[in-house]
Structure 1
Amino acid sequence: MDSVNVELLSALASYSVHRALVCSRSEFFDAACRNPFKESETGVIDLTEDDPEAVEHMVNYLYHLDYLKKPLSRRSSQRSSRPSSPTSRRQRSKKLNLALIEDPLLATMAAANQSARDPMTPPDEQANHFDDSLDSAKFPDTPLEEAFQEDPFEAVETEPETAVEKAHLLTHAKVYAIAEKYAISGLKALARKKFAQQIEVHLSSPEFPEACQEAYETTVDSDRGLRDVIIQTFRANPDLTLRKDVELAVRETPSLAFELFRMASGMPVFT
């Protein structure tokens, strides 16, 4: 397996990413790359069963420690507004080479290597050597934006979440689920924070009941991250139960209905 890159394959795109960066932020990817699994031999991790939008946001987080605040690709903007089909998915399939992004650590290492090759540099100034093994690299907690020289997410528009009227409740629920699946604790905490902030602003959105269903169907009972936010929202806004779309979502989601019943009965929601 390439010691530098690993390929994350989603249903709509292929992401060539820095192995050390991805593995440093995901316990799942770290195990897949280091243990004697098929992924460690081929260098390809199959994510085609996951929601492609959630995969894109996950990859964006791995590099920028955020999502939905970066420039969107033209293709991703288009597919968010059109229904997808097998044919259209193949037509919009793309390969994004995230290895083209120059990570702050890689930039520092490249500069050191260039200095070592420069005959004008005195030998005593080259004493500060860097280990060229990416696997042993320690990445900074906060990436430096200016160090990224090429963003493979073809920038055509910037969509700050706070400036967009459209709700992203469902998106945050999906990102939360994929963060749990691939053991990316930072992304999971960020998705919960964004979900909680959005639910206050977009409580009347038609996306609210669907997001509730997504949260309950993709998490286990003991994972209270999104579930507690939803229960607290129902407790603070009892009129939500009068909405037909919310009623339908509750009827179709037994675990949500059960917890709302316990809440209404004055019992602990989760024991």
Structure 2
Amino acid sequence: MDSPNVELMSALASLFECGKYSDLTIICGIKRYPVHRAIVCSRSTFFDGACRNLFRESESGIIDLTEDDPEAVEHMVNYLYHLDYLSKSLSRRTSQRRADSPLSGRISSLRKSKKLNLAMVEDPLLAMASAANAMPNPLTPPDEQPNRFEADLSAKLPDMPVENLVEEDSFENMEAEPEANVENPHLVTHAKVYAIAERYGIPGLKSLARKKFAQQLELHFGSSEFPEACQEAYETTVDTDRGLRDVIIQSFRSHPELSLRKDVESAIRETPGLAFELFRMASGLPVAS
């Protein structure tokens, strides 16, 4: 039985997926998001103001965000119904179906089974040869009579041990399906989501984007996304918003080698705000006044 929290989140997700009872539409380019005023207006100061006052959006029931980044808008809307974004976890039904599939069970049993050891299988030629050697022959001494079974067998078998003839188990070498975006830190995406959360007054999303940005930057400070993420953070936020900027400055403090990268150097040259703060940091001055 699902807990009350899971039940509530499932109900919100269902409302978003099917669009039932929707009374507001968010448009961004070619994408349309049927949403619910009670949900989005209670979470965003922008949507609350747009629907509560006598604006065009309040009368038409359509809010056009085409000028915003489409990816950031999608993550914002997803957060309003799922309390998260960039979450690709499988549903319970899908996971159960995959686990119960006949092919999955067959592969699992094959992976657990041991390889066939041919050394333990009795070879019929060897058995016949052994039987022939065991039969006494009064006409020819055993040391002088050649055994044609053994001669034929030695000509057919290679010099390598029998164990090496076993083919490699293809199931043991099958790699598991990689998780989506495991190595992609999405630094630029988190910076965009942080900016759009600030623009539309969604403090919970802003806090979540900062947390994701800081965690991924700590793990992937050497990522090729780092220079672009720095530019995105400094160009889409005001000087007094230290949410992402402090995280970036701390990365330069912890990893001075970042300044030696050519791509990072180019980003610093093109981002005056970042260059100024790094200059103050190198001079021993407080970065933020």
| Residues 1:267 and 2:285 are matched in the alignment | yes
Corresponding residue for residue 45 of structure 2: 27
Corresponding residue for residue 276 of structure 2: 258
Q: Which runs of 5+ in 1 are unaligned?
A: 73-156
Q: Pick one of 55, 62, 65 that aligns with 1:44.
A: 62
Q: For the residues of structure 2 that align with 1:11 and 1:222, how far apart are their CA atoms?
A: 31
Q: Which runs of 5+ in 2 are unaligned?
A: 1-20, 91-176
Q: For the residues of structure 1 that align with 2:30 and 2:222, how far apart are their CA atoms?
A: 31
Which stretches of structure 1, 4 residues or more, deviate above 4 A after TM superposition?
157-161
CA contact (8 A) 1:68 1:160 kept: no
Tell me the TM-score normalized by structure 2: 0.61
| Residues 1:16 and 2:22 are matched in the alignment | no
Cα deviation for residue 13 of structure 1 reads: 0.6
Tell me the TM-score normalized by structure 1: 0.65
Cα deviation for residue 166 of structure 1 reads: 1.4
SS of equivalent residue, structure 2 residue 41: helix
Identity of aligned residues (%): 73
Q: Say how many residue pairs are matched.
A: 183
Q: For the residues of structure 2 that align with 1:4 and 1:60, how far apart are their CA atoms?
A: 15
Which amino acid in 2 is paired with 1:38? R
Which amino acid in 2 is paired with 1:224? R
Q: Relative CO higher for 1 or 2, CA cutoff 8 Å, sep ≥ 6?
A: 1
SS of equivalent residue, structure 1 residue 49: coil
Corresponding residue for residue 248 of structure 1: 266
Q: For the residues of structure 2 that align with 1:225 and 1:166, how far apart are their CA atoms?
A: 22
- Per-residue CA deviation, residues 105-155 of structure 1 (Å, 9 max, x unaligned), is xxxxxxxxxxxxxxxxxxxxxxxxxxxxxxxxxxxxxxxxxxxxxxxxxxx
- Per-residue CA deviation, residues 222-253 of structure 1 (Å, 9 max, x unaligned), is 00000000001101111100000000000000
Q: For the residues of structure 1 that align with 2:178 and 2:257, how far apart are their CA atoms?
A: 36
| Residues 1:68 and 2:92 are matched in the alignment | no
CA contact (8 A) 1:69 1:160 kept: no
Q: For the residues of structure 2 that align with 1:265 and 1:219, how far apart are their CA atoms?
A: 24
- The 5-angstrom pairing of residues 177-216 of structure 1 reads 177-216=195-234
Instruction: Decide whether aligned partners of structure 1 residues 245 and 223 sit closer, same or farther in structure 2, where only a CA change above 3 A counts.
Output: same
Cα deviation for residue 47 of structure 1 reads: 0.4
How big is the alpha-carbon RMSD for the aligned residues of Structure 1 and Structure 2? 1.9
CA contact (8 A) 2:22 2:34 kept: no
CA contact (8 A) 1:7 1:14 kept: yes
CA contact (8 A) 1:54 1:178 kept: yes
CA contact (8 A) 1:6 1:43 kept: yes
SS of equivalent residue, structure 2 residue 276: helix
Cα deviation for residue 71 of structure 1 reads: 5.9
Cα deviation for residue 18 of structure 1 reads: 1.0
Instruction: Decide whether aligned partners of structure 1 residues 71 and 232 sit closer, same or farther in structure 2, where only a CA change above 3 A counts.
Output: same
Cα deviation for residue 11 of structure 1 reads: 1.6
Instruction: Decide whether aligned partners of structure 1 residues 39 and 158 sit closer, same or farther in structure 2, where only a CA change above 3 A counts.
Output: farther
- Per-residue CA deviation, residues 144-190 of structure 1 (Å, 9 max, x unaligned), is xxxxxxxxxxxxx99676xx111200000000000000000000000
Whichever of the two has the greater Rg, that structure is: 2
CA contact (8 A) 1:71 1:158 kept: no
| Residues 1:57 and 2:83 are matched in the alignment | no
Instruction: Decide whether aligned partners of structure 1 residues 21 and 70 sit closer, same or farther in structure 2, where only a CA change above 3 A counts.
Output: farther
Q: For the residues of structure 1 that align with 2:178 and 2:57, how far apart are their CA atoms?
A: 34
- Per-residue CA deviation, residues 189-230 of structure 1 (Å, 9 max, x unaligned), is 000000000001111111000000000000000000000000
- Per-residue CA deviation, residues 82-110 of structure 1 (Å, 9 max, x unaligned), is xxxxxxxxxxxxxxxxxxxxxxxxxxxxx
Q: For the residues of structure 2 that align with 1:179 and 1:40, how far apart are their CA atoms?
A: 21
Instruction: Decide whether aligned partners of structure 1 residues 213 and 256 sit closer, same or farther in structure 2, where only a CA change above 3 A counts.
Output: same
Which amino acid in 2 is paired with 1:18? H
Q: For the residues of structure 2 that align with 1:210 and 1:244, how far apart are their CA atoms?
A: 13
Which amino acid in 2 is paired with 1:17? V
| Residues 1:217 and 2:226 are matched in the alignment | no
